[in-house]
C-alpha cells in the first residue's frame, strides 16, 4: 500500500472509532489482558432467591432426587439447593438471553417450550403449589415435613401427571428439577453445588486437570488423581492458623 493511502486510512480510523462503541481492528492483533470475565464464584451465605420455606422444600426435594447413601452425600449436603438458588437469582432465573417475545402459543412437543414464565417464576409458583398440595392432602404438613417415603410418593405423582397444580405446569416443574438438580451435583463447585467435589469423586471425574497426555495410552488403567476444581482443591490451601 502506498504511504499516502495508509495515512488517509489511519486518519479515518481515528475519526470513526470515536463515533462508535464497536471496535475497529486494523494492523494489530487486538490482544488485551482478561477481555473475558472470569467466573463468578458462588459464596456460602444466606439464600439469595428462595424464602426460608422455599429453601426447606428445595433441600428436601434435592435429597430425594439424589438421596444420600453410605459412600456419597445426597443433594442437600452436595449443595444442589444452593446451586439452584444462585442460578435462579442470576441470568438463568430471569431467562436472560432467551427469546421471550410473544405471542406465546402452546405448540407441538417438537417445537419446544413456549412458556412466558421465567425459570424463577416457575420455581416460585411451583413450590407454593407444592406446599399447598401437601398441606391439603397430608394432614396440614408441608413437603419438607413429610417423611422420605411420602415425599417420594408426592414427587412420583407429579412426575406421572397424577398430581397437577392449578397455577403452573407441575410436570414442567419436575422436568426442570431433573435438569437443574444433577447440574448442581456435577457442575464445578464454584457454582455453589458439588460441595467438596462429591459428585466428581463419586464417579471418578478428575475435574479440570487439563493435561492427560501421560494417560491417553494407558488403556484400561484407572486415572489415579483426585479431582481439581476451577477454585483448586481445599487441601492445597493451608489452614489458617
Interactions with other proteins, residue window 130-149 (CB under 8 A):
none
Nearer to other proteins, 17 or 51 (CB): 17
Establish if 84 lies at the interface with other proteins (CB under 8 A): no
CB-based contacts of 29, cutoff 8 Å, min separation 6: none
Establish if 38 lies at the interface with other proteins (CB under 8 A): yes
Nearer to other proteins, 150 or 190 (CB): 190
Bridge partners, residue 228, by sequence = 207
Within a 13 Å sphere around the CA of 96, how many CA atoms are in the beta-carbon half? 8
Kindly tell me which residue out of 93, 165, 188, 195 binds other proteins, with binding defined by CB under 8 A: 188
Nearer to other proteins, 142 or 151 (CB): 151
Angle, helices 119-137 vs 52-65, to 10°: value is: 90
Kindly tell me which residue out of 103, 139, 140, 238 binds other proteins, with binding defined by CB under 8 A: 103
The CA distance from 197 to 229, in Å, is: 8
Establish if 93 lies at the interface with other proteins (CB under 8 A): no
**Coil vs helix vs strand at 228:** strand
Nearer to other proteins, 12 or 51 (CB): 12
How many Cβ atoms sit within 10 Å of the Cβ of residue 137? 13
For other proteins (CB under 8 A), the number of binding residues is: 85
The closest alpha carbon to 120, from 128, 131, 112, belongs to: 128
Q: Which stretch binds other proteins (CB under 8 A): 44-52, 126-134, 217-225, 233-241?
A: 217-225
R_g over Cα of the chain: 25
Establish if 225 lies at the interface with other proteins (CB under 8 A): no
Q: Which stretch binds other proteins (CB under 8 A): 8-16, 122-130, 136-144, 233-241?
A: 8-16
Q: Which stretch binds other proteins (CB under 8 A): 17-25, 48-56, 125-133, 233-241?
A: 17-25
What is the CA 179 to chain-centroid distance, rounded? 9
The CA distance from 134 to 106, in Å, is: 29
Establish if 70 lies at the interface with other proteins (CB under 8 A): no
Amino acid at each position: 500500500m502506498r504511504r499516502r493511502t495508509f495515512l488517509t486510512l489511519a486518519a479515518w480510523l481515528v475519526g470513526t472509532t470515536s463515533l462508535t462503541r464497536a471496535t475497529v481492528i486494523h494492523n494489530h492483533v487486538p490482544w488485551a489482558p482478561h477481555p473475558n470475565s472470569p467466573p463468578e464464584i458462588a459464596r456460602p451465605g444466606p439464600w439469595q432467591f428462595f424464602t426460608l420455606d422455599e429453601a426447606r422444600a428445595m433441600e428436601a426435594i434435592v435429597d430425594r432426587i439424589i438421596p444420600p447413601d453410605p459412600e456419597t452425600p445426597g443433594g442437600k449436603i452436595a449443595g444442589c439447593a444452593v446451586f439452584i438458588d444462585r442460578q435462579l437469582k442470576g441470568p438463568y432465573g430471569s431467562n436472560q438471553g432467551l427469546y421471550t417475545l410473544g405471542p406465546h402459543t402452546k405448540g407441538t412437543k417438537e417445537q419446544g417450550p413456549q412458556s412466558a414464565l421465567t425459570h424463577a417464576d416457575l420455581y416460585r409458583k411451583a413450590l407454593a403449589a407444592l406446599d399447598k398440595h401437601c398441606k391439603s392432602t397430608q394432614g396440614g404438613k408441608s413437603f419438607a415435613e413429610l417423611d422420605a417415603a411420602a415425599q417420594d410418593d408426592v414427587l412420583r405423582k407429579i412426575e406421572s401427571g397424577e398430581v397437577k397444580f392449578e397455577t403452573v405446569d407441575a410436570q414442567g416443574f419436575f422436568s426442570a428439577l431433573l435438569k437443574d438438580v444433577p447440574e448442581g451435583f456435577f457442575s464445578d463447585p464454584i457454582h455453589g453445588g458439588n460441595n467438596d467435589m462429591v459428585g466428581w469423586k463419586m464417579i471418578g471425574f478428575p475435574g479440570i486437570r487439563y493435561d492427560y497426555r501421560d494417560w491417553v495410552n494407558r488403556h484400561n488403567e484407572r486415572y489415579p488423581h483426585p479431582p481439581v476444581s476451577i477454585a483448586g482443591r481445599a487441601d492445597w490451601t493451608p489452614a489458617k492458623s
